[in-house]
Amino acid sequence: MSQPETTSQPGATPQSGTTPQAGSAGPRHRLVGVPGGRIHLVEQGSGPLVMLVHGFPETWHSWRHQLPALAAAGYRAIAVDVRGYGRSSKPQDVSAYRMLELVEDLAAVVRALGEESAVFVGHDWGATIAANTALVRPDVCAVVALLGVPYSPRGGVRPSEVFARIGGDEEFYVQYFQEPGRAEAEIEADVRGWLAGFYAGLSADTMDTSGEHSLFFVPHGARMADRFPRGPLPSWLSEAELDVCAGEFERTGFTGALHRYRNADRDWEDLAPWDGAPVTQPSLFLAGAQDASVAWLADAVEAFPQTLPNLAASHLIEGCGHWVQQERPHEVNAILTDWLKGLDLPGS
């Protein structure tokens, strides 16, 4: 059932370098009713709508540096909590987290905000959600930017079969996430410590570069965290910012977030009508050069001329890992705003 919209103006603004720039009001938190329940978002600025979609394990907070920058550049920036995260709805059913459900959440947010379409900018899982929104709901997605994870069209092999082959003698992390309750038991025993290790393991300045062990593969009987680096937090993440992230997941748990991974085969079935289909909207790709996703999905990047025929540019930022918009916010903000300036956007 759809929830009524509520709004609030919290006393605190997003942390770490996100003081609103001249000409832009501070961020505003809202709850927007959608057919699947409610979506929490943080809004700043006015102008063409730019929808920011986070990945795992993050929340709207991962876009804290982009909200004021986009607002100051003349855009209405919206950072959502994806279904299962933060203050957004958290259905119990695993299948409620299939891709088509998440696409419809975001399409409903665009319309609830009084707009016909928006720019979609996604990171990690958010990039995949943004790309599929462009594919499935081109009426609401005018242009799309993908951060960290390149677009890879639905193919002929069931994902669970692919994951089994990738793992070999160990479990690929997506397999490790499949059994409800298993990964939750590991993570929720020490939410703050697990997040710190996972963020550090994928950050350019703290990741293990020896190549001996990958945190994406779990030996049988072990924990994913056993291969996390032990040491300081990444330079982009303060203790206070980690507290914000950990506080959200301490409150919500990880089940909703992990259910996204548990829908890979359902998504493959649901997206059969779009098998091999390109995303034809104007697009942009941006990632850290040290992001493992770029190496794994090198074939997807090479296929961009076919899969993203209207790609403006593909940027790899040297010395940057997976958390690109947080590790290198100034460069990301400059690339995004320069790209957006050259587009004829709805509401401009």
Q: Which among 248, 264, 235, 262 is positioned nearest to 195, based on CA atoms? A: 248
Helix, strand or coil, per DSSP, at residue 120: strand
| Strands 118-123 vs 49-53: parallel, antiparallel or unpaired | parallel
Q: What is the DSSP letter of 261?
A: G
Helical ranges in 206-238 per DSSP H: none
Identify residue 223 by its one-letter amino acid code. R
Q: Which member of 124, 267, 270, 291 is catalytic?
A: 124
Cα-based angle 219, 327, 45 (whole degrees, multiple of 5) = 125
Q: Which among 188, 186, 185, 213 is positioned nearest to 201, based on CA atoms? A: 213
What angle do the packed helices 239-252 and 191-201 form, to 10 degrees?
120
DSSP secondary structure letters along 121-166: EEETHHHHHHHHHHHH-TTTEEEEEEESS------SS-HHHHHHHH
Please name every residue paired with 37 in a beta bridge, in sequence order, or none if there are none: 34
CB 323 within 8 A of CB 64: no
| Torsion sign over Cα 283, 289, 291, 297 | positive
Cα-based angle 196, 330, 62 (whole degrees, multiple of 5) = 35
What angle do the packed helices 99-112 and 125-136 form, to 10 degrees?
70
Residue 124 annotated among the catalytic residues of the structure:
yes
Cα–Cα separations (whole angstroms), residue 128 to 102, 141, 210? 11, 13, 29
Structure tokens belonging to residue 92: 């119990």
Catalogue the active-site residues: 124, 322
